[in-house]
């Protein structure tokens, strides 16, 4: 049996077990993939200061995120097509998050529906919304999230147009997979995945099919989706969403101080410093590099979180030290899910929590709330200027 010690172990197993089109969907970026790769490497440039002869007993990584208790400052990010990485993937990931005591976020473009997650979990979860042209469909989706007792709404702001993702184009990505010769050959090498998919009824975008007018199958869904991402998105639209929702609102996709300030004015309960995992604007800075300036500008007015490149508990600690009061993980969850299902997501979260806890101790602290940038080696982390 494979011994799993870190997220990279899960990624390697994931690559073996999941069809190529879905592996490439998760483990890639747009255009040259420069920003995608820099999200990870930027964390490695930041160095930690070790302390010794300090009491390391009774440690706690517990925090709150938009008023919700969490055992560590980590939430599962919204990831589209999660149910294509593993049968009923969103359900498995939500269950693992519930066991780990952290929030789970369901994507609009999920395979399992809002109602599926509500039926199979007992903890409140978050729902992520894309701004679509069809405001009636959006209003009804928000109403469904309310009915499912979702505790926060995550509005993604950086997908008005879709970045060019070369691997997805070459693979002919679709859900369910297109029956091309190349895809069929690759599927034949993934029997575990195929057996799982044969055992579930969830093979399409269940938040949309049957809920959106004139969308009843994958063909009509594709036609609807291609026209729906709204390039006209404005702060007035965000005010509309906030009014429709009426609860905790998290704005995701902030990379500039000016947008962070506008998000605060729009009433965001939290913002997520995010470049969409390097899947949108290639050539943008790493999320962790953009974080300090945004924290300095609005960190006393709203909760500032970040995502992008987090592959360990050390990355979480570094983000916290630079002012992030929460993080979101997508790929690390997907690696675990594709590798081992719910048990793999549980293992990923256990690895991240243990690394966070032990590294915090080595840096001389027993409470995450006492950690600041003083644990980082000067000159190795991004400054607030610029």
| pLDDT of 385 over the 60 cut | no
Give 266-318 pLDDT, tens digit per residue.
Answer: 999 999 999 999 999 999 999 999 999 999 999 999 999 999 999 999 999 99
352-369 average pLDDT score:
98
Q: Compute the distance between CA of residue 361 and CA of residue 346 in angstroms, rounded to an integer.
A: 23
Distances (CA, A) of 271 to 207, 338, 343: 24, 29, 30
| Most confidently modeled range among 148-152, 159-163, 210-214, 379-383 | 148-152
Confidence of residue 228 (pLDDT cuts 50, 70, 90): confident
Question: One of 276, 353, 365, 374 is an active-site residue; which one?
Answer: 276
pLDDT score of 386: 44
Give 93-112 pLDDT, tens digit per residue.
Answer: 999 999 999 999 999 999 99
| pLDDT of 164 over the 70 cut | yes
The answer to whether the CB of 156 falls within 8 A of the CB of 125 is no
pLDDT score of 219: 62
333-361 average pLDDT score:
98
Mean pLDDT of the chain: 94
Taking the CA atoms of residue 320, residue 326, residue 328 and residue 333 in that order, the dihedral angle to the nearest 10 degrees is: 80
Count the neighbouring beta carbons within 10 Å of the beta carbon of residue 2: 11
pLDDT score of 145: 98
pLDDT score of 112: 98
3-state SS class at 133: coil
pLDDT score of 210: 84
CATH 3.20.20.70 at 7-374, yes or no: yes
The answer to whether the CB of 280 falls within 8 A of the CB of 30 is yes
Which range, of 68-72, 218-222, 317-321, averages the lowest pLDDT?
218-222
The answer to whether the CB of 24 falls within 8 A of the CB of 167 is yes
Q: Is the pTM of this model over 0.75?
A: yes
pLDDT score of 291: 98
25-32 average pLDDT score:
95
| Phi, psi dihedrals of residue 269, rounded to the nearest 5° | -80, -25
The answer to whether the CB of 365 falls within 8 A of the CB of 371 is yes
Is-catalytic flag, 166? no
Give 139-158 pLDDT, tens digit per residue.
Answer: 999 999 999 999 999 999 99
Confidence of residue 119 (pLDDT cuts 50, 70, 90): very high
Side-chain-side CA neighbours of 147 within 13 Å: the count stands at: 11
Domain boundaries, the chain: 7-374
User: Residue for token digits 């093979």?
Assistant: 203
pLDDT score of 82: 97
Q: Compute the distance between CA of residue 354 and CA of residue 71 in angstroms, rounded to an integer.
A: 12
pLDDT score of 1: 52
Please tell me which residue, 204 or 179, carries the higher pLDDT value: 204
Alpha helices in 18-151 (DSSP H): 20-26, 34-45, 82-85, 89-100, 114-120, 135-147
What percentage of the chain reaches a pLDDT higher than 70? 96
| pLDDT of 113 over the 50 cut | yes
Distances (CA, A) of 175 to 238, 311, 338: 29, 27, 16
pLDDT score of 217: 63
Q: Compute the distance between CA of residue 84 and CA of residue 348 in angstroms, rounded to an integer.
A: 19
Which range, of 17-26, 128-137, 141-150, 235-244, averages the lowest pLDDT?
128-137
Confidence of residue 235 (pLDDT cuts 50, 70, 90): very high
9-24 average pLDDT score:
97
Side-chain-side CA neighbours of 61 within 13 Å: the count stands at: 26
Which stretches does DSSP call E strand in 176-320?
249-254, 270-273, 303-307
């Amino acid at each position: 049996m494979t011994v799993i010690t870190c997220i990279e172990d899960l990624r390697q197993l994931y690559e073996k077990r999941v069809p190529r089109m879905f592996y490439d969907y998760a483990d890639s970026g747009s255009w040259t993939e420069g920003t995608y790769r820099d999200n990870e490497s930027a964390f490695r440039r930041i160095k930690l200061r070790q302390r010794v002869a300090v009491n390391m007993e009774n440690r706690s990584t517990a925090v709150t995120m938009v008023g919700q208790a969490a055992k560590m400052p980590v939430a599962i990010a919204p990831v589209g097509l999660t149910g294509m990485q593993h049968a009923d993937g969103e359900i498995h990931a939500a269950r693992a998050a519930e066991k780990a005591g952290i929030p789970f976020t369901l994507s609009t473009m999920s395979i399992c529906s809002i109602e599926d997650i509500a039926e199979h979990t007992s903890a409140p979860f978050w729902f992520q919304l894309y701004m679509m042209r069809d405001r009636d469909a959006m209003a009804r989706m928000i109403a469904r999230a309310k009915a499912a007792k979702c505790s926060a709404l995550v509005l993604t702001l950086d997908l008005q147009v879709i970045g060019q993702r070369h691997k997805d184009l070459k693979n002919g990505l679709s859900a369910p997979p297109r029956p091309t010769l190349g895809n069929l050959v690759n599927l034949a090498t993934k029997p575990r995945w195929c057996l799982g998919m044969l055992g579930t009824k969830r093979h399409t975008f269940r938040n949309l099919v049957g809920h959106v007018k004139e969308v009843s199958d994958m063909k009509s869904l594709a036609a609807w989706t291609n026209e729906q991402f709204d390039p006209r998105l404005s702060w007035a639209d965000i005010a509309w969403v906030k009014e429709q929702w009426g609860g905790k609102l998290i704005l995701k996709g902030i990379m500039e101080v000016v947008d962070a300030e506008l998000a605060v004015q729009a009433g965001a309960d939290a913002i997520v410093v995010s470049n969409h995992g390097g899947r949108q604007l290639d050539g943008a800075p790493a999320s962790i590099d953009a974080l300090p300036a945004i924290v300095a500008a609005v960190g006393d007015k709203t909760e500032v979180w970040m995502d992008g490149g987090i592959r360990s508990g050390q990355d979480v600690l570094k983000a916290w030290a630079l002012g992030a009061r929460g993080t979101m993980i997508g790929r690390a969850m997907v690696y675990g899910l594709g590798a081992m299902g719910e048990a793999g997501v549980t293992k990923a979260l256990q690895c991240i929590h243990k690394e966070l806890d032990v590294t915090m101790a080595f840096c001389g602290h027993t409470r995450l709330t006492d950690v600041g940038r003083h644990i980082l080696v000067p000159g190795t982390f991004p400054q607030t200027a610029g």
